Structure 1
Amino acid sequence: MNNWAEYVGYLASAFVVGSFLLKQIKMIRMINLLGCICFVIYGIYSGMLWPIIIPNAVLALVQIYHLIKND
Structure 2
Amino acid sequence: MFHVDLLGYLAGLFLLLMASMKNQTHMRMCNIAGNVCFVAYGFLAGVMPVLVLNIIIMGLHVYRMVQARTSSAKA
The answer to whether TM tops 0.5 is: yes
Letter in 2 for 1:6: D
Q: Output the aligned Cα RMSD.
A: 1.0
Q: Which runs of 4+ in 1 moved over 3 A?
A: none
1:58 aligned partner:
56
What TM-score do you get using the length of structure 2 for normalisation?
0.86
Structure having the higher helix fraction is 2
Give CA-to-partner distance per residue, 1:14-65, whole Å, 9 cap, x none: 0011101000000000000100110010000012x11111111100000110
SS of match in other structure, 1:7: helix
TM-score by length of 1: 0.90
Q: Give aligned-pair identity as a percent.
A: 28
Q: Partners in 2 of 1:4 and 1:68 — Cα distance? A: 33
Q: How many residues are aligned here?
A: 69
Report the Cα distance in structure 2 between the residues aligned to 1:17 and 1:55, rounded to whole angstroms: 18
Residue ranges of structure 1 left out of the alignment (5+ in a row): none
Unaligned runs of 5+ in 2: 70-75
Residue of structure 2 in register with 1:19 after alignment:
18
